[in-house]
Structure 1
Amino acid sequence: MFDQEDGELNVVIGVLFGVIALVIALVIGIATWKLGAANAAPTAETVTGEFVEVVEIGEPLVKFYFGVGETALPADAAADVAIVVAELEAAPEKKALLSGFHDETGGAAVNAEVSKNRALSVREALLAAGVPAERVLLRRPAVTLGGGDAAEARRVEVRVQ
């Protein structure tokens, strides 16, 4: 009689371990899929002026600085645009990654819009200089507030990666 109960108990334990193994495999699969999607190369759908999730690599190649509340590209930006264009021409497989920042003045919603419009201004300058749109990506930084110095904070960083 105990042999029959032991056999049933073994079946229940086996099924329980099987379910646990399936749940663990599912969690690992989902985590792997999400990590792979986060590090995937951007597609044509993500290069239309919308923000992409791309990991920044290295230090910025150039930084464009803006006045308080200004989103128009500064007059002295042509030299920095030329640097980015030359770097992209030297490495046809790479893309320009733009990240806009702001200082502490103004409200959060206004600052987010200002930093986005600054990045869009730099993007438009690169497109006007002949860089194809699919090679210019906009990335929303994790923290758009740009540090202690207000003048340094109002910037767009450009990385070629």
Structure 2
Amino acid sequence: MVSQDDDSQQRVALFLVFGLVALVVAAVLFFGVNIGRAGKSAAAPAAQVTAPLAAASEPATPSVAQAASDAASVTVEQGVVKFYFASGKADLAAGASEALADVVKGAQAGRKLLISGFHDASGNAEKNAELAKQRALAVRDALKAAGVAEAQIELKKPEQLTGGGSDAEARRVEISLQ
């Protein structure tokens, strides 16, 4: 037969064990998330094509959600190459030349390339439009470096993104074949 003292001692021991396990799990999650964030912000693309940087009116202190989407990147969706830029920057993401391969082939086959830049409505509209222009020029320069003749490249005036698009969508340049 077990006495009440043994039961209370077992309860205290179990409480301490479960408390310690919960503390370890919380610490692992906390450090894992913070190390993951630090690794993403410290990671820089190996090679970047740069363009002159205009003064940006985009926020200097982005939110945590914005920081996660603030890295330069490039995607190809249904034949359209989309360059996403970091806030206040006109630097192309690493891998830009690989993403341009299909549109360069299209240009070599005689098709025109249309470059469209976008910006959001927050801040100074003139500065945003100028930054969008600098981004489009950086993409144009990458196309020219890949062997596309300037006569085959058409730059469209930067468009202001309205509605519920994300910050990253507002900081993009698209290339499409015409």
TM superposition score normalised by structure 1: 0.56
Q: Which has the higher helix share?
A: 1
Tell me the matched-pair count.
Answer: 100
Q: Distance in 1 between matches of 2:172 and 2:124?
A: 17
1:106 aligned residue (103, 117, 123): 123
- Secondary structure in 2 matching 1:115: helix
Asked if structure 2 preserves the Cα contact closer than 8 Å seen for 1:146 and 1:152, the reply is no
- Going from structure 1 to structure 2, the CA distance change for 1:74 and 1:121 (only over 3 Å counts) comes to same
The answer as to 2:168 corresponding to 1:151 is yes
Is the 1:68–1:154 contact (alpha carbons within 8 Å) kept by the matching residues of 2?
yes
Percent identical pairs in the alignment equals 50
- TM-score, structure 2 length as denominator? 0.51
Aligned Cα root-mean-square deviation (Å): 1.9
**Which of the residues 81, 100, 104 maps onto 1:81?**
100
Runs of 5+ consecutive residues of structure 1 not aligned to the other structure: 1-58
More strand by share: 2
1:1-161 equivalences under 5 Å are 61-89=80-108, 91-92=109-110, 94-141=111-158, 143-145=159-161, 148-161=165-178
Contact 1:98 1:138 in 2 (8 A): yes
Aligned equivalent of 2:65? none
Q: Gaps (5+ residues) in structure 2? A: 1-77
Q: Which protein has greater RCO, CA pairs closer than 8 Å, 6+ apart?
A: 1
Please tell me whether the aligned partners of residues 114 and 176 of structure 2 are also in contact (alpha carbons under 8 angstroms): yes
